Amino acid sequence: MATRRVLVTGAGSGIGKGIAAYLCNKSPAKHGVMITDLKLETAQAAAEELRAAGGNVIGAYALDVSNKDSIRDLMAQLQDNPPDVLVNNAGIQHVSPLEDFPDDKWQLLVDVMLVGCASMTKAVLPSMRENGYGRIVNIGSIHSLIASKYKSAYVAAKHGLVGFSKVMALETADCDITINTVCPAYVMTPLVEAQIEGQAKAHGMTREQVVAEIFLKPMPKQAFISLDELAGTTEFLMSDHARNITGQTLALDGGWTVQ
């Protein structure tokens, strides 16, 4: 597989960092990754860690995907070395009944996870067209396909991402550009680990009970999705073997949505 330049949003930690780590180090292709995060120091710390592990890191950049000026500044920095692949991963969460959901917080979630993905896609498409190759991988969620109470903004944004991807697949069908949405169930990250501990404390349950009864119960496979699974799926979508897979929604959900 050819070595590609891959821009990952929200790559300072969690899923984004895991995808970046796999692509720049574990993959035989040793793709060059561009680490972006809301805070420059977070992106730089992740980049230094990945470089120390032997990863092929092109650079670390500050990026607020909900801010058009921030996107414009980043693309200006990358104009001589634009990404071949965009991984739209940046995301945030807020849990609340709609009646109590702050309006500004609701708007922010949609701006980051839906409008931000559209803005980033718009920014990279010209160079991808010029270079004759492009892959856009949107990191959706099981909540791109199902709903949960108190997550109205998150679910709305992630559902919207699926529709956006389908439209962009049609608009890029005339060239070697694809766009797909990968929808994992729970991925074991520090954020999920903290949620497990919080749920255990709130419900007076053991960690093992929370994992079995709250997190994994809907999944027939009864297993968390690993970062390498998610990253490996991303890399497959980057490959020539997947050049005719576009506008698709790939569920890494352990069988959750087949029931």
The residue among 15, 116, 105, 107 whose CA lies nearest residue 74 is 116
Residues 114, 115, 116, 120, Cα dihedral to 10°: 110
Give, for 83, the enclosing helix (H) or strand (E).
Answer: none
Distances (CA, A) of 17 to 45, 86, 105, 131: 11, 14, 24, 26
Q: Which of 22, 61, 133, 154 is catalytic?
A: 154
Residue 154 is a catalytic residue:
yes
Spatial distance between the Cα atoms of 141 and 218, rounded to a whole number of angstroms: 14
Q: Give percent helix, percent strand, percent coil of the chain, each to the nearest 5.
A: 50, 15, 35
DSSP 13: S
DSSP 187: B
Cβ of 168: how many Cβ atoms within 10 Å? Answer: 23
Spatial distance between the Cα atoms of 127 and 81, rounded to a whole number of angstroms: 10
Spatial distance between the Cα atoms of 243 and 209, rounded to a whole number of angstroms: 42
Give, for 117, the enclosing helix (H) or strand (E).
Answer: helix 116-131
Residue with tokens 């739209």: 88
Catalytic residues: 154
